[in-house]
Amino acid sequence: MARSKEFDIDDVLLKAMTIFWQQGYEKTSMQDLVAGMGIHKRSMYDTFGDKHTLYIKALERFASIQSSRLESRIEGITSAKAAIRLLFEATIHRSEAEPKGCMLVNTAVELSVHDPEAAERANEAFLNTERLIEQLILHGQETGELSSRHPAPALAAYLHNALVGLRVMVKATQDTGKLQTIADTTLAVLE
């Protein structure tokens, strides 16, 4: 008779996500995962497969959590400018309990060149954020809040690129004043 799991799958996946987010894929050992997830090695393999499969599942979870957070932060905001600014502010003012930076950006930098599956997952999540920004821009252009001098897809790509760069800078500096100046200068394109 098969034994039931003695752990919450979602809980241990979130623990694995945090470990990978802090350390990256290559630097994270199986021992790190077993110790950090609080489960036996055999249980980890039986539940999640190998390290790479676990990483992809953790990356998908991270993307899902981040997407939900972004959408909930801007829900109900009628100003396109204010909603886009909130996306940038959320990047600068993150919870101290979370690792610095963005697991998607980390993945793109560390793995994209030699791991097509990880690159695909990161690019899917990037594209979802870019689409969200594009929808906000289109809304702002339709209401007259934003100029139509730049096509919405091009402006969304530009702003998303800047947002990804800001996610890197958040990991590299503690200077929130500098980060705020970067965001303000970038968002001046919306004026």
pLDDT tens sequence across 32-50:
999 999 998 999 999 999 9
Residue 39 burial class via C-beta count within 10 angstroms: exposed 0-12, middle 13-18, buried 19 and up = buried
Q: Quick one: pLDDT at residue 5?
A: 58
Decide which of 153 and 98 is more confident.
Answer: 153
In this predicted structure, the answer to whether residue 4 has a pLDDT above a threshold of 90 is no
In this predicted structure, the answer to whether residue 116 has a pLDDT above a threshold of 60 is yes
Please list the alpha-helical segments (H only) found in 8-115.
Answer: 9-23, 30-37, 41-48, 51-74, 80-92, 103-111
In this predicted structure, the answer to whether residue 3 has a pLDDT above a threshold of 60 is no
Q: How confident is the model at residue 1 (pLDDT cuts 50, 70, 90)?
A: very low
In this predicted structure, the answer to whether residue 58 has a pLDDT above a threshold of 80 is yes
Please give the torsion angle defined by the CA atoms of residues 78, 83, 85 and 91, in that order, rounded to the nearest 10 degrees. 160
